[in-house]
Each structure stands twice: as structure tokens, then as C-alpha cells.
Structure 1
């Protein structure tokens, strides 16, 4: 039988990349961590970590076991929550979300959840994916509405192999500028046309993404301001401080005097989805909520032009 504590130790080794750092996190000695891993390897008949002077990395067998460790930890946490809820007649659903996704997808999804599972108590935690996806892995939240750009999910150190990802929405980024900007009347822009422009951005990850995107186009952007709020960034653009790169779902609430212009392919895009772990996605209230989020995402995809500043709303079909 595999000892749960040894799985916990292996997971810490995967997260921290060394026995000594894992030992510190677990309040153990490095020797004790090494012994736990060695016993686990003997019980499996397979090596779970590869040791080197630069630390340790997971083998394929180790990645499988870390995925199992995450699922076990999440299931134990959920079992604890269910025991605490005995006798209350309520089920809890804890949802983590990033700000713009939560603002535009959660409110429309809630009525279906409440109608189908009226005794579900909903809790919402706000945070960026690098903060909330680990909470899913730990079993601290049932699901996370998250996003990533053209790289992998920001699950942090370790394999993250137990996460289940359901894609919801492609969220293209647009160049937002003052309506009197010399390029504001264009139907689309090549990123190279913006090489000399000053930028004001609404997210640190957007700045990182822009710099990587611009590097491939052969220029380094001049970033004059970085905020943690897309509305604030758009307000600075309206004041004439520069241009910005804004996801399409973040155009509400509107800021007067702005124009959004699509970027020619390859278009920078946020990939929005829902992350769950283990069997949590199969629970009825979780399944219902994910389906409600999918319906909201389909609605958002169907009318994207109505959110773009400077664009007239699409006419209703006759």
C-alpha cells in the first residue's frame, strides 16, 4: 500500500525542486525527505525522481505519482468539507476567478446554478491563475476560471498533471487608442506599425506577453505605465498617455473617446477555461456550473463586436 504521507513528500519535492527546500516546507530534515522518497521508490519498483547537482526532477513515474498525490489531497479536502456540512442541508461550491473573466461570465451563470441546485452555497475567490490554479490542486477550491496565453497553464512548479482543463472562450487582445489617434480609423493593424508608440498596460502578464510578442516582430515596446486594472489603463489611454493592449471581454465598462483595433494574425489571444481536479468535475453542482459558464462563453463569442469601443453594435436580425 502506498503511504499518503510519502505522496505528500513527493509532491513537495516536485513543487520545490530539491530535497532541502521540500524539507523546509514540510518541517522535516532533508534526510527524512530522502528516506520517504526512497521507500516510495522501493514500494513502486520504479524511480520517481532524477537526482543531479542542480536538484531533482520528476521521472515519468514521478509525474504520474504527483498527479495521484494531487487528486488524493483534493479528495481528502473535499471529504473534510462534506463532513463539516453534514446536517446543514447545504452543499458548498467555491469558485476562484480572475477579475475580468469573473465579471463577464459568473453573473450570467449563477441563475442556472441557483435554479438547479438552490441549496448550494457559493463562495468566490478572486485571483490570477498563478494563484488560483494551485488552490485547485490543493482542493481548496472546486474550480478556477482561469486563462493562459500561448504558453502552458501557469500551474507553478511540478507536473500539475491532475488538472482537468475545459476550454471556454478565445479572448483576442486589441490595440486600444484615443479615437483621434492617427491609426484609429484602421480596420486592423500589424504589430510592427506600433513600434514607435508608448504603451500603458492593464496587467503585468500583458506587459510580459507584449514584450515577447514585440520581440518576435523585431522591436522593443516603450512601456510608460503598467497597472493592475484594465479600466484604469483605458482611462490613461483616454487621457493621451499612450496606447494599450486590452482583452476583448475587458472593454466593459466603456471609456468614452477610445477606439479598439484588431491586430492582424498571429493575433495575441487569451485562452479562457475552467480548471478542476480529480472527480470534482463530475459532481452535479460543479457540472451544472461549468455548463452554465460554457453557455455564457458562447454568448460572449457570438457578439464580440458589440463590446469594441468605437464600433456600432451589430444590428438585430430581421
Structure 2
């Protein structure tokens, strides 16, 4: 495993991180704690030291599993969590509220069984929040109080990321970036590098589309967001298949498939593509099983992709995907 500097946090994060949404037990179909814990342990065995979670993943269950693993390991682990999606209604005014943010942080502290949170991220708040300096002032105060060490944002749109990094103490931006979402590299990465912002890449496999394992007749459980959120019925459409129409995504995958080297899975190929961008700090690939955690980690060991392959991927994006997503996120 290789490691990259996580902005100004002072932390060197593993290139492949562990995305812990799926092990919360909601939104990704059925899972069980024994399997989830085995996946976490395997990832750490392979050098993963960055874990991303949120208070709403299983209503805190994901955080609680991570706390259990943290007690059982000696290795230093950096845990990033998120706050804000518990607001009901989920509106900007709810973030501009000291009591709300403090309550969320204290709940995270209890779930993770720690005295200070490594990194707290605003969890895809409404766009108006990025024009509310007081929100970031409250986070500054929580750092001063010792409840958290640093903070960042998780965003839906590139425009939100650009607004967020205007605030001097924003240390990280978590953003969707994959072979179906090239806009961050085109319009955000340079600004992030100039400000020494750590970039955490989420949805790297486009909700599994970029594993190459799905077919037109693939079925998803009723509790899986790939079943119930394809058109943004429950939350932002961009969270599901990166906002790409399922059939269009399958066609693009078939165009990409010949580019995958022998002996490499398409998922590993997709993760290695992301790591070709030096501005990226870590890729939080989701895993529900030991095998998935192992496969994800191996992507960091692959040799660099050729410029010819990188150009071909851009061509496929331009031909199949760009017009569908570029202006939306």
C-alpha cells in the first residue's frame, strides 16, 4: 500500500481507503456484522488506514462497528465521519445552528467511542450552506473545544467544492470522481492542489457499474438504493450509478472492457485510473466482504496506465457520458 498526504491534516492516508456505508446495513442490501468486521480487519491487514463513515449509515451502526475494530487493532487508524443528514427537514438553516452541529458531533463521539473525531465532514448539505460563514465558524469552535481535530465537506457538485475551499480551515473535500465523472479533474483539482486540500474520492465504482458485473437483467434488493433511487426518489440522483442511466452505463462499461489488462478486474482498473491523478489523496472503495476489501486493496499495486489508455477512457466519457452528467454535478 502507498500513502498520500491528506491536505493539511498532517495525516498520510492509504491510497485505497475503506468506505463504510455498506456495512451500516442499509441502502446496499443485506449484510451482517461478522462479515463486515472481517472485511474491515482484512483491509487493515493490507495497509488501509483511512476509514470513511457517517452517522446515518445504519443510524450509527457503521460507526459502532468501526469503534469495535479500532479497539482490536494496534495500528493507527484515521476515521472520517459525517454530519448533517439527520436533519429533518434537511435544510440549510439546520446547519447554521450551533446546537444541532454540537449534538451531531457528540453523537459521533459516542458511536466511535473516542474523545476527539479525526475528521468531520458536512454531509452533502444544501448548496446555500457554502455561503454561510457562520457554519464554518461553529466548526472552528468545535475544533478549539477539542471535539474534532479537523473538518471538511462532502459535496454533490464541483461548484460546491470550489466554494467550500474558500474557507481557510476546510482541510478536505469528498467528491464523486470516476470514469463516469471527469468534471472534478477538469474544474476542481488544480484549485485543490493550490490550497493543499485533501481529496477523498467517493462512489469510485459508480455504485458497482464499474465492476463490470452487472447485466440488463441484474436485480437489486428493495432496500438497495440502486433499486429505489435511480431517478433521485430518496436522495440526490448522482449518488446512484453516478447519475448515469443504467442502460447507458452498461454500454459504456462494454466500451471500457477491452482496455482492462489481463489478470486485472474491471473494479481494480477503475480504482487504478483514479489513482493516476496525483491530486487525489485516497479512494474510499466500499466493501461488504473480506474478498471485496482484498480486491480493492490490490488496485494500489497495479502499474500506471498508459497515456493511450487514459485518452481512450476520456473518449468513451465524451462519447457516452459527458452530455448526461457534466452540467448537472
TM-score range, shorter chain: under 0.3
Higher relative contact order (CA 8 A, sep 6+): 2
Give the TM-score, by structure 2 length: 0.26
Q: What's the TM-score, normalizing by structure 1?
A: 0.27
| Structure number, greater radius of gyration | 1
